Amino acid sequence: MDLKEIVQESYSIAEVGRKLGYSYFNGKVRNEIKIKIGDIDCSHFKKNGDSQKKYKHIEKDCPVCGDKFTTQEGHKKEKITCSHSCANTFFRSGPDHGNWNEDAYRTTCFHYHYKKCVCCSEETIVEVHHMDGNHQNNEPSNLVPMCPTHHQYWHSNYKYVIEDLVIEYHVNWKRSNNGL
């Protein structure tokens, strides 16, 4: 490839330098490259303040939180989420993640159910109840999120206080999720 082709296929003097084999780039090297380029047309090069760039800036919606953010389209590090926090949620949760443990009933329960008590909507401390009493059956349809108080009600003489609520939730959840 001759020098004219290298210049035409590059987007900056620095890229021309890399293609010519310069391992570092400073003012002296930049001047050497400018001398080598000579009269070759460089009007397509990116300049400070110029809107022409190698990667187009685009606006996206974060798939986790819905916020808008800007990223570079086509760049090898094009952002998918708006932040590290959202990236952790997006890439490090659910059955597709390498650390997912289907046997961990709490993980399974809170993936398929909201993490709040079905009786009182408590969200701070939530336990998982196995509807059939079999702690080996960790199917999502067998798990029900409950606060410690209502979970204790279920396993006591006061089960009748919450039984209708829990059974109604369980039946409705199975119906809306096709019996997962």
| pLDDT for 49 | 47
**Which residue has better confidence, 121 or 89?**
121
DSSP state of 156: S
Cα–Cα distance measured from residue 82 to residue 67, given in angstroms and rounded to the nearest whole number = 7
C-alpha torsion 141→147→150→152, nearest 10: 100
Rounded Cα distance, 102 and 13, in Å: 53
Q: What are phi and psi of 68, to 5 degrees?
A: -90, 145
Plot region of 158 (φ>0 → left; ψ -120 to 50 → alpha; else → beta): alpha
The model's pLDDT over 63-85, given as tens digits with 9 standing for 90+, comes to: 888 899 988 888 888 899 999 88
**Planar angle of CA 106, 151, 178, nearest 5 degrees:** 55
* pLDDT band, residue 54 (cuts 50/70/90): low
Q: Which amino acid is present at 73?
A: E
161 pLDDT exceeds 90? yes
Mean pLDDT, the chain, integer: 84
pLDDT at 94: 65
Q: What is the pLDDT of residues 165-174, one digit of tens each?
A: 999 999 999 9
How much of the chain, in percent, has pLDDT values that exceed 70?
88
Residue with tokens 């330098």: 17
pLDDT at 53 over 80: no
pLDDT band of 13, cuts 50, 70, 90: confident
Q: How does residue 132 score in pLDDT terms, banded at 50, 70 and 90?
A: very high
